Structures are given as C-alpha cells and as structure tokens.
Structure 1
Amino acid sequence: MTFKTEFEIPIEPKPQTRPKFSKWGTYEDPKMKKWRKEVSGWIEKNYDGPFFDGCIKVEVTFYMKAPQNAIKRAYTAF
C-alpha cells in the first residue's frame, strides 16, 4: 500500500549543530534541543495522518535565509 502526505511546519529551520565530545560526555547546544522539541511538539499536535510501523521514505525541503556573513563575503569577492 502506498500513502503520500505533505505538510508544512511553520517554524524557522535551524542548521544542525555538531555535538561536542569530551571525556565527561557529550554536549549539545541547548538551543538545538529546544528547537527539536518545538518541531516534535508541532508535529504531534498537528499531524492527523496514519502512523507507520515499518520503513518510510521522507523527502524534506528547507528554505532558509542566507547568513549575513555569506552576503558580506559575496560583496567583498568583487
């Protein structure tokens, strides 16, 4: 059986930060944890489709603003 669904999450995308490892454990940016909880909570509240038990295929498209320093670098390159 094939099922297709689409939805838009109205939360600003955030680039994944890299976890930091030390001899005391792993550290991840608290802002990233908060963002993940926010997105997960939105999906739990708003997704009303079927749940899946097996493998799924996911296609994701993110639209993000260019970082300010990338814009400055483009101007100074000329």
Structure 2
Amino acid sequence: MAKKKKKVRNKARDVFTDYYETNKQYAKENRERQQQEGKATGRESWKWHNLSSTEKTYIVVIALGLIGIFVKYVIF
C-alpha cells in the first residue's frame, strides 16, 4: 500500500501575503482619510522638510557609504 503524501504548506508565503494585504488596506484607508482632510497624498506630499532629523541623517550616512563603496571598488 502506497503512503499518502503529506500536503506541503508554505507558511512563509502566507505570512508575507497577509502582511502585504494588511498594509495595502491600511494605505488605502490612510490615503482616503488624507484626501477627505484635504491633505496632499502620494509623491506631492513628500518633501525634504517633512523628514525628521534622524531620517535626514540616515540618508546622508547611506549616501556617504555608497560613495565610499564606489571609490573603493571602482576607482581603486
């Protein structure tokens, strides 16, 4: 008698799919709420002055790191 194969379940895919769907729904509700309040949404709302000092610091550190990698591996 042949053994019955165990059904394989991809739990990681389920977790990522649930995370994606939840964030998509949250973003849609947030966008609708901002439109009702009359605030700009999407690309037009993103400005440098809207970033916190920590976020600006992170961007500067990342840019310097990329420049350093470029200099180390491409130029030398």
**So what's the TM-score if we normalise by structure 2?**
0.29
Q: Which has the higher helix share?
A: 2
Q: Which has the higher strand share?
A: 1
**So what's the TM-score if we normalise by structure 1?**
0.29
- Give 1 or 2 for the bigger CA radius of gyration: 2
